[in-house]
Structure formats: C-alpha cells, structure tokens
C-alpha cells in the first residue's frame, strides 16, 4: 500500500518535471539573442514580402505567449518536433534518431565498462583502506576523475592513434570501407577511443564513491557479526558489504546515464563522432532552434527518466526505502 503510493508519487513527480522542462525549453530559446528570421534577413536579396511569408509560415508572426507556447507544447506532445533549419528542412525526430545511435553506443559501453571497473577498483581499495594498494588505487582514481573528457581524449589520440598508429583518430567509419563483419570491426576500432575516454572519466567517480562506502561499511556492526560468524572475507565483501555499499553507486550510475549523454559533447567534438553532441554544436552555430529544442528536451527527459530509474532501483535494493522506514 505504502509502496504503491510511493511509486505513484515518483511517477507523478517525473511527469510534472518533464512538463516544466518543456516550458523552460520553450522560454530559454525565446530569451536567446537572434532569431531564425534574422538569420534569413542576413541575405540582402530576400524581399520583405518573402520574409513576412516565412514568418507567417513558421508562426513567428503570432505572439510568443500564449499562441507560440501552446503550438509548441501541443506539437511536442503529439511527437511533432518540427523541422531542422540547417538539415534542409528534415524532421527533427529523424535527424536526432540518426545521431542518437552513435552516442548511445559510446556512452552505453563507456558507462558499462566504467561501472564494472569502478566497482572492482572501489571495492578493492575500500577493503584495503589505508594500505599501499589503496593509496595507489585511490590516487589513480582521483587523477582519472579530475581529467576532463576532451583532455583524456586528446591524450589517447596522441598515444594510440598518432604515435602508435593502432587506431583511427576520428570519425565513425572509414569512408568507402567494407561492410558486414569487417564493417562492424571498423566501427568498433573507431569507437574504441571515445568509449575509453568516457569509461576512464567515469571509473574514477565510481571507484572513489564506492571506496568510501566500503570503508564506511567495514566499521558497521553487521560486518563484525559476519566475521564472528566465521565467514570468508570474499563472502563478507560480496554478501554483506557490497549490498549496502553499492547503493550510492547505483544511484550515481543511473543519474550519470542521463547526464553523460550531454557530457559526451566534448568527446564527440574531439573525435568528430557524429552523435548528439556534435549535432548540438552544429545546431548552436547555425541557430537551428528546432534541433536544439529537440536535443535539450531529449537530454532533460533522459535525466528525469534515469533519476526515476535510480529511485526504483534504490527501492529494489534497499528494503528500508521500499517500506518507507526512517533511516
């Protein structure tokens, strides 16, 4: 009963947040200097009549509030995101749909690798807190954590692409490259460095967070009980410490999944990776409002959704949250 009400509250909250985002998304771009018709006006040969016709066609002649807002919200809810200014009037959904795949590939694999490696490193250093291995591991994690994506990316390019020549420097495929399995290998070779960049950036975060939760859990009474029970170290770590210590990491991972899509922007620019990040940069430069609105909305919704996912996961993992008990 309590659990159902909690669940409904979470879903309601997520939907309300998305609506707010929708309105903010609209207002934000209307506050920005410049407008699509002014971009059109830069061409001296456009006649006033043609400009007026364009303004009417795009609905720019109507007042921003409420007409344009209602038109935007209504269209967005029905799945109509408008047409891209830059991409020859293609539908925004189709442009984003084309770019989301490459982004999900590097972000998804990067997250997974970072999560696996970060959990392993964090658990190991936390268990050995204060010892030599912990100091080295934690220092490494801190260094990785503090390196911005674009710098890590450039270092990796310098080492693996330019110096060693093992991997391509940029792009997603070799132009005119083979198809089939050979093509998939070619894609992975291009994706390797972007994935590594994202993974390296996140490993440190996960490792440092988990290390501190494991070190904290080691002082808990239930760990003493587990030791007194005569359990093996490995069992104590896996069976007793990690189920407790992983909770903050799971939340961070879920929230990151939302943010990283936006955070991959610099990675995509460094590697000329044709994903949402690169698309955003191009759209910004050409004031492609519909694309920007579409991308921003997608990012906001994914952050809200992954937050919701984090809450649901947390309640699955921690019975105290599920039962609404005070902690």
Binding mask 209-228 for another protein (x = CB under 8 A): -----------xxx-xxxxx
Least Å distance between CB 225 and another protein? 5
Which residue lies nearer to another protein by CB, 19 or 224? 224
Is 325 an interacting residue with respect to another protein (CB under 8 A)? yes
Distance of CA 304 to the CA centre of its chain: 11
Least Å distance between CB 223 and another protein? 9
Least Å distance between CB 231 and another protein? 6
Among 213, 240, 279, 309, binds another protein (CB under 8 A): 240
Is 318 an interacting residue with respect to another protein (CB under 8 A)? yes
Which residue lies nearer to another protein by CB, 246 or 270? 246
Is 317 an interacting residue with respect to another protein (CB under 8 A)? yes
Least Å distance between CB 221 and another protein? 3
Which residue lies nearer to another protein by CB, 148 or 239? 239
Among 35, 174, 244, 302, binds another protein (CB under 8 A): 244
Among 74, 239, 281, 284, binds another protein (CB under 8 A): 239
Residues paired with residue 83 on neighbouring β-strands, in sequence order: 91
- Token readout for 181 is 């399995």
Q: Judged by CB under 8 A, which stretch of 20-28, 119-127, 229-237, 271-279 contacts another protein?
A: 229-237
- Give the interface size with another protein as a residue count (CB under 8 A): 23
Give the Å distances, CA to CA, from 301 to 36, 201, 256, 278.
25, 23, 13, 19
Least Å distance between CB 122 and another protein? 18
Among 229, 238, 281, 284, binds another protein (CB under 8 A): 229
How far, in Å, CA of 296 to CA of 294, rounded? 6
Least Å distance between CB 115 and another protein? 20
Among 235, 272, 281, 284, binds another protein (CB under 8 A): 235
Binding mask 40-79 for another protein (x = CB under 8 A): ----------------------------------------
Helix (H) / strand (E) containing 80? none
Least Å distance between CB 129 and another protein? 11
Please give the residue ranges that form the binding site for another protein (CB under 8 A): 220-222, 224-232, 235, 239-240, 243-244, 317-320, 323, 325
């Amino acid at each position: 009963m309590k659990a159902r009400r909690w669940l409904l509250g979470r879903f309601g909250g997520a939907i309300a947040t998305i609506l707010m985002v929708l309105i903010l998304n609209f207002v934000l771009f209307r506050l920005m200097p410049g407008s699509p018709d002014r971009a059109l006006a830069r061409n001296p040969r456009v006649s006033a009549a043609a400009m007026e016709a364009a303004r009417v066609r795009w609905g720019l002649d109507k007042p921003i509030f409420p007409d344009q807002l209602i038109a935007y919200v209504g269209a967005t809810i029905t799945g109509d995101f408008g047409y891209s200014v830059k991409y020859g009037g293609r539908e925004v959904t189709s442009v984003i749909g084309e770019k989301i795949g490459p982004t999900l590939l590097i972000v998804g694999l990067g997250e997974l690798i970072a999560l696996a490696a970060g959990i392993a490193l964090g658990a190991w250093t936390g268990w050995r807190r204060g010892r030599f291995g912990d100091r080295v591991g934690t220092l490494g994690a801190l260094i990785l954590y503090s390196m911005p994506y674009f710098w890590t990316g450039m270092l990796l390019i310098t080492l693996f692409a330019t110096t060693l020549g093992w991997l391509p420097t940029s792009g997603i495929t070799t132009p005119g490259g083979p198809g089939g399995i050979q093509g998939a290998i070619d894609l992975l070779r291009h994706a390797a460095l972007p994935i590594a960049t994202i993974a390296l950036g996140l490993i440190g975060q996960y490792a440092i967070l988990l290390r501190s939760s494991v070190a904290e859990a080691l002082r808990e009474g239930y760990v003493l009980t587990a030791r007194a029970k005569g359990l093996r170290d490995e069992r104590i770590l896996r069976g007793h410490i990690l189920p407790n210590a992983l909770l903050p990491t799971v939340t961070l991972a879920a929230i990151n999944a939302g943010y990283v899509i936006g955070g991959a922007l610099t990675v995509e620019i460094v590697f000329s990776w044709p994903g949402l990040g690169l698309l955003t940069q191009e759209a910004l430069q050409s004031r492609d409002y519909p694309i920007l609105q579409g991308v921003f909305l997608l990012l906001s919704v994914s952050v809200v959704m992954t937050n919701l996912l984090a809450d649901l996961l947390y309640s699955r993992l921690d019975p105290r949250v599920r039962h609404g008990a005070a902690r």
